[in-house]
Amino acid sequence: MLLTVAVIGAPHGLRGEVRLDLRTDDPERRLAVGNVLETEPADAGPLTVTRARTAPDGATFVIFDEARDRTAAEALRGVRLVVESDEDEGDDDEGWYPHELVGLRAVHVDGRELGTVAALEHLPAQDVLVVTEPDGGEARVPFVAELVPDVDPGAGTVTLDPPRGIFAGDPAEWEDEGEDEEAGTDEGAGTRA
């Protein structure tokens, strides 16, 4: 499976430097000088990193050996830098595209329906799943393994383990209800299967 390392953004300056929209948790390894990265579309690459830097505002900029001027850098705008997944890869979510996730049913780890995935937002710190709840509200769940333990396009589902407060019909409320029931009399304790 191909994982997206970054999406190439606007050129910066005249010498081919471009800004990257990072999608990896390990930019130092993925964008090390000398690394050769495949691209989508494939005919835009492969691209060899000759310089990488992080600006004071956290933005990442690179120069590729194959694009040494602003015109060549502008032609790369929107190109995805991709790598084959490997055993060391920690987050499967790097490989998901918005079109693969939008429309999937969002279910809680206990099986309760939470809504439908409406979008995948790419924020500076991490990607975020936008889920439309049954009442029409929106919830945003950071797309990390701890909160999104399973994505199964074949089953049409994404499984979530959200913290308290993210959803209006918060699973935390369900847990509290369960605790109240368990804290009730002994008569109720024996009725559950």
Instruction: Write out pLDDT tens, residues 95-134.
Output: 576 778 889 999 999 888 999 999 888 766 678 899 999 8
Q: How far apart are the C-alpha atoms of 106 and 103, rounded to whole Å?
A: 9
Are both 77 and 121 inside the same structural domain? no
**Do residues 87 and 126 both lie within one domain?**
no
CA distances to 4, 66, 85, 95 from 158, in Å: 20, 39, 20, 14
The pLDDT of residue 1: 60
Residues 104 and 155 in one domain: yes
Residues 50-76: tens digit of each pLDDT: 999 888 888 889 999 999 899 999 999
DSSP 24: -
- Per the structure, the count of domains in the chain is 2
pTM above 0.85, yes or no: no
- Mean per-residue pLDDT, 85-101: 57
Beta strands 2-11 and 150-152, pairing class:
unpaired
Parallel, antiparallel or unpaired: strands 157-160 and 105-108: parallel
Q: Is residue 155 part of a domain?
A: yes
